[in-house]
Structure 1
Amino acid sequence: MAMDSRGSGASGPLLPWLRWSGTGLAAGAAVASVLAATSSGLAAYYARMIVIPNRRREDLEILAVAGAAGERRVVLPATAETTVPGRYALYVAGGTKRALIGDVLSLDGSTVTRAVTGGDEAALAAATRGWWSGDIIADPSEIGLAHEDVQIGTPAGLAPAWRIDPDDTRTAEATTWVIGIHGRGARRSETLRGAAVMHRLGYTMLAIAYRNDGEAPRADGGRYGLGGTEWRDVDAAIAFALDHGAERIVLLGYSMGGAVALQTVAQSTWADRIGALVLDAPVVNWTDVLGYQARLNRVPDSIGQFSQLMISHSAGRAVTGLVAPVDLKSMDWVSRADNLRTPTLIIHSVDDDFVPAGPSEELARRNPEFVRFVPFEAARHTKEWNVDPERWEAVVADWLPTALQASDPAPR
Structure 2
Amino acid sequence: MIWTLFWLLVLAAVGFGNHFTKVALFPETWTHEDARERELKDQPLELEYYEVLEKKPFEVTSQHGYPLRGILIETPGSTRTMIFVHGITYNLYGGVKYLKMFHEWGYNIVLYDQPNHGKSGGDVTTFGYYEKLDLAQIVDYVVVKLGSHQEIGLHGESMGAATALQHGILDSRIAFIISDCSFDTAFNEFKYRLKVEKHLPAFPVLYIASFFSYLKTGVFFSAMNPLKAVSKLKLPVLWIHGLADAYTPCAQTKTLYDAHPGFKHLYLVEGATHAKAYQVDPQKYREVVASFIEAIEEKKKGGI
Is 1:359 paired with 2:267?
A: no
Does the CA-based 8 Å contact 2:83-2:152 persist in structure 1?
yes
Is 1:262 paired with 2:165?
A: yes
Corresponding residue for residue 185 of structure 1: 89
> Number of residue pairs matched?
297
Counterpart of 1:309 (choices 201, 207, 230) is 207
Q: Which deviations, in whole Å up to 9, do the C-alpha atoms of 1:192-234 show, x marking residues without a partner? A: 11111111221111001121003101x2xx2211111112221
Q: Which deviations, in whole Å up to 9, do the C-alpha atoms of 1:68-91 show, x marking residues without a partner? A: xxxxxxxxxxxxxxxxxxxxxxx9
Would you tell me which structure has more helix in proportion to its own residues? 2
Does the CA-based 8 Å contact 2:35-2:90 persist in structure 1?
no
Counterpart of 1:154 (choices 41, 50, 62) is 62
Q: Which deviations, in whole Å up to 9, do the C-alpha atoms of 1:211-261 show, x marking residues without a partner? A: 1003101x2xx2211111112221001001111225221111010001111
Is 1:233 paired with 2:142?
A: no
**Counterpart Cα distance in 2 of 1:346 and 1:306:** 33
Evaluate the alpha carbon distance shift between residue 178 and residue 96 of structure 1 in structure 2; reply closer, same or farther with a 3 A threshold: closer
**Counterpart Cα distance in 1 of 2:82 and 2:107:** 7
Does the CA-based 8 Å contact 1:165-1:199 persist in structure 2?
no
Corresponding residue for residue 118 of structure 2: 214
Does the CA-based 8 Å contact 2:185-2:224 persist in structure 1?
no
Corresponding residue for residue 274 of structure 2: 381
Corresponding residue for residue 156 of structure 2: 253
Query: Could you tell me how far 1:332 is from its partner in structure 2?
Result: 4.5
Query: Could you tell me how far 1:144 is from its partner in structure 2?
Result: 4.2
Does the CA-based 8 Å contact 1:252-1:278 persist in structure 2?
yes
Evaluate the alpha carbon distance shift between residue 306 and residue 235 of structure 1 in structure 2; reply closer, same or farther with a 3 A threshold: farther
Corresponding residue for residue 34 of structure 2: 95
| Counterpart mapping for 1:35-184 below 5 A | 35-55=9-29, 95=34, 98=37, 134=42, 142=50, 144-155=52-63, 156-166=65-75, 169-170=76-77, 174-184=78-88
Does 247-256 or 38-47 show the bigger shift?
38-47
Query: Could you tell me how far 1:371 is from its partner in structure 2?
Result: 2.6
Query: Could you tell me how far 1:312 is from its partner in structure 2?
Result: 3.8
Corresponding residue for residue 197 of structure 1: 101
Evaluate the alpha carbon distance shift between residue 146 and residue 260 of structure 1 in structure 2; reply closer, same or farther with a 3 A threshold: same
The alignment partner of 1:365 has SS state of helix
Does the CA-based 8 Å contact 2:165-2:179 persist in structure 1?
no
Q: Which deviations, in whole Å up to 9, do the C-alpha atoms of 1:45-69 show, x marking residues without a partner? A: 122211112246xxxxxxxxxxxxx
Evaluate the alpha carbon distance shift between residue 369 and residue 229 of structure 1 in structure 2; reply closer, same or farther with a 3 A threshold: closer
Corresponding residue for residue 224 of structure 1: 125
Task: Give me the CA root mean square deviation.
Answer: 2.8
**Counterpart Cα distance in 2 of 1:252 and 1:285:** 18
- The two structures have a TM-score, normalised by structure 2, of 0.87
Evaluate the alpha carbon distance shift between residue 215 and residue 137 of structure 1 in structure 2; reply closer, same or farther with a 3 A threshold: farther
The runs of 5 or more residues in structure 1 that have no matched partner are 1-26, 57-90, 101-118, 120-132
Does 1 or 2 have the higher relative contact order (CA < 8 Å, sep 6+)? 2
Does the CA-based 8 Å contact 2:177-2:236 persist in structure 1?
yes
Corresponding residue for residue 191 of structure 2: 291
Corresponding residue for residue 10 of structure 1: none
The alignment partner of 2:155 has SS state of strand
Evaluate the alpha carbon distance shift between residue 99 and residue 371 of structure 1 in structure 2; reply closer, same or farther with a 3 A threshold: closer
**Counterpart Cα distance in 1 of 2:38 and 2:253:** 32
Query: Could you tell me how far 1:293 is from its partner in structure 2?
Result: 0.6
**AA of the residue aligned to 2:207:** L
Kindly, what percent of the aligned residue pairs are identical? Answer: 18
The alignment partner of 1:225 has SS state of coil
**AA of the residue aligned to 1:98:** E
The runs of 5 or more residues in structure 2 that have no matched partner are none
